[in-house]
Amino acid sequence: MATPGNSDIQWCFSQVKGTLDDDVTEADIISCVEFNQDGELLATGDKGGRVVIFQRDAASKASIPRRGEYNVYSTFQSHEPEFDYLKSLEIEEKINKIRWLKRKNPAHFLLSTNDKTIKLWKVSERDRRAEGYNLKEENGTIRDPSSIKSLRVPVLKPMDLMVEASPRRIFANAHTYHINSISVNSDQETYLSADDLRINLWHMEITDQSFNIVDIKPANMEELTEVITASEFHPKINETDYYLGTIRLCDMRQAALCDSHAKMFEEPEDPTNRSFFSEIISSISDVKFSNSGRYMISRDKFLKAFLWMLKNKVYLFNHVKVHEYLRSKLCSLYENDCIFDKFECCWNGTDSAIMTGSYNNFFRMFDRSSRKEVTLEASRDVAKPKTMLKPRKVCSGGKRKKDEISVDCLDFNKKILHTAWHPQENIIAVAATNNLFLFQEKN
C-alpha cells in the first residue's frame, strides 16, 4: 500500500454524503465515523441520535480500477433524548461512539452509545417472506377455524430486500458521568465503557451488571486532579489503556482490577512552552492501537500527535505537529471554546500512516517511516468525481506565498473531528459538520 507522505501519491474525491447547503441543523452534525472489520460497511452517528450505515457499492468494488463508493444500507434511530428526574438533567441523544463486532453469521452487530446508555444492535437482511398460512389470510386477518377444511404448507417467496435494525441488548445505569469511550475486547464477548472517572467492563450477554476495573474518583471531589478522556482495548491481547494527561497501560491478564498500571508513559513537558493553556492542550483527546498491536498513536487535545512503540518497554519514537501554527491563537480559541474540541485519530490498514483532523475542514496525514506529511481539505469545491486534492499549507506570519492560506483566514467553525480509514484499502471517510466525504487514492 502506498504511503501518503510520498509525493507520488495523490488523493481524489469519491463521494460526499449529505447536502452541501449552508443551513445545517444541530441534529444533522456527524459525531462519529467507523468502518467495520472488512471495510464493506461504514457507520456514522449524529447529534440527532441516528445511525446511518453505508455499504460498499458492488460495482465500484468490481470495477477496474476499483472505486471507493458507498450507498445507504440502513438508517435507524439509535437513541432518543431522555430526562434524568433524579438529577434534573437532560440526556442528549447524540451518538458518542460506534464500535463494530466481528461478523460471525449473516447478520452484523454494532455497539452505539450516547452519554449514558449503550445499545447492541443487530442489522440483518430479509429477502423472503412466508406465504400460505393456515390460520390467517395473506393480509394478516385471522381466518375462521371452522372454514379451514385442509392444511397448507407455508412457502417462502422472494421479496424486495429489507434491512432491519433491532436492539438486542441495552446497557444502562452504570455511569454517573458522560460516557466518552467504548471498546470491544479481542474475545468479542466483553467490552469496556469509560466516563470521566470510571471504566466498566461488560459482558455482551449481561445487561444488568458490569465490573468496575478503574475508579479514580477521590473521596473529596475538590482533590480531583485528573480525569479519564479515552480508553481502548489492545486489538489482540487482553490489555487496556486509559488516558489522562499521561497514558496508563493495564494488563488484565495479570489482574482484572486495574487499580495499578503495568506501564505509564508521557512526553516530558518543555518548560519553555509552559503557559496558562498547557494543562488543557496536553490532555489526551484520542488514542488508537495500530491494527497489528505493535504501535499506538495518541492525540493531545490540540497541537500534537504522538506515536508510541509497544515492546517490553513503551517508548515514544516520534511526534508530529498537527497545527502548531495555532499556538499564537490559543487565547481566541479559549474564548470561543474551540480549545476544548476533541480531535480523533486513526491508522491505515498497514500501520504505515495515520490521519487526524484540523480546522478549516483540513485533515492531516503522516507517514510513520518517512515522517513525511500532507495537509488536505474536504470542501464543496472538490465535490466533483475524480477531482484531485491539492496539498494545503498554512502561513503563520510574514509574507504569504501564493498557494498558502493565512492562519488568520482559517474558519474555526469548520472542523474535522472524526475520521476513519478503510482497513484494507486507501479509502478514507472524513466527517465535515453534516457531510461525510469519501476520498480514495488515485489509481
Q: Is the pLDDT of residue 160 over 90?
A: no
Instruction: For residue range 285-341, list pLDDT tens digits in order.
Output: 888 989 998 888 888 867 888 888 777 556 666 778 888 888 888 888 888 888 889
Structure confidence at residue 271 (pLDDT): 62
Of the pLDDT bands very low, low, confident and very high (cuts 50, 70, 90), residue 270 is low
Residue 357 CB-density burial (10 A; 0-12 exposed, 13-18 middle, 19+ buried): buried
Structure confidence at residue 330 (pLDDT): 87
Long-range CB contact pairs, 66-72, < 8 A, 24+: 66/425, 66/443, 67/14, 67/440, 68/14, 68/15, 68/422, 68/425, 68/427, 68/438, 68/439, 68/440, 69/14, 69/15, 69/438, 70/15, 70/17, 70/42, 70/438, 72/17
- For residues 75-98, give the mean pLDDT: 92
- For residues 77-93, give the mean pLDDT: 90
Q: Is the pLDDT of residue 149 over 90?
A: no
Instruction: For residue range 184-234, list pLDDT tens digits in order.
Output: 999 999 999 999 999 999 999 999 999 998 888 888 988 887 888 888 888
Identify each DSSP E strand in 18-115 by its residue range. 30-35, 41-46, 50-56, 70-77, 82-84, 89-91, 97-100, 108-113
Q: Single out the residue of 106, 131, 110 nearest to residue 121, CA to CA.
A: 110
Structure confidence at residue 102 (pLDDT): 95
Q: Is the pLDDT of residue 268 over 80?
A: no
What is the pTM (predicted TM-score) of this model?
0.86
Of the pLDDT bands very low, low, confident and very high (cuts 50, 70, 90), residue 422 is very high
Is-contact 114 108, C-beta < 8 A?
A: no
Q: Single out the residue of 106, 120, 36 nearest to residue 78, CA to CA.
A: 120
Is-contact 95 112, C-beta < 8 A?
A: yes
Structure confidence at residue 201 (pLDDT): 93
State the Cα–Cα distance between residues 167 and 156, nearest whole angstrom.
Answer: 26
State the Cα–Cα distance between residues 364 and 355, nearest whole angstrom.
Answer: 6
> Residues of the chain with pLDDT > 70: what percent?
88
State the Cα–Cα distance between residues 175 and 155, nearest whole angstrom.
Answer: 48
Structure confidence at residue 4 (pLDDT): 46
Query: What single DSSP character describes residue 98?
Result: E
Instruction: For residue range 101-112, list pLDDT tens digits in order.
Output: 999 999 999 999
Average pLDDT, whole number, for the chain?
A: 86
CATH H superfamily, domain 11-136+152-441? YVTN repeat-like/Quinoprotein amine dehydrogenase (2.130.10.10)
The more confident residue out of 7 and 396 is: 396
Of the pLDDT bands very low, low, confident and very high (cuts 50, 70, 90), residue 1 is very low
- Of 25-39, 83-97, 142-156, the poorest mean pLDDT is in 142-156
